[in-house]
Amino acid sequence: MNNLRKFSEDKRIIGTPRYAYFQRMCSEAGLFAVKEAKDKGLPITYVENEEIVKEYADGRKEILGRIEPNVKVKRRVYKIP
């Protein structure tokens, strides 16, 4: 029998033991995508220290701009009748 866990969008993830598995799967997919893009010579864009950075395959970095710091939003609950 196959021991691999399967992901299903229909099952609750957050707040369950399966969340760690789901997060690891998403992180690995992101790392794979970045590696694949770098291998093809494509630039990678990301945020670091509130700056938007474009990093080229040769290691050169270009600052594209700045982002605003995170804004805290009060939690609100809306009930739909």
pLDDT digit string, tens, across residues 4-55: 566 666 677 777 777 888 888 899 999 999 999 989 999 999 999 889 999 9
Tell me which residue has tokens 């939690």: 75
Read off the DSSP letter of residue 17: T
Given a contact cutoff of 8 angstroms between Cβ atoms, the answer to whether 63 and 51 are in contact is yes
> Helix, strand, or coil here: 59?
coil
Matching residue, tokens 């029998």: 1
Structure tokens at 39: 């291998």
Q: State yes or no: pLDDT of 1 exceeds 70.
A: no
**Residue 21's pLDDT is what?**
82
Q: Distance between CA atoms of 51 and 67, rounded to whole angstroms?
A: 6
The band of 78, judged by pLDDT with boundaries at 50, 70 and 90, is confident
Distances (CA, A) of 44 to 12, 26, 32, 37, 53: 32, 18, 13, 7, 8
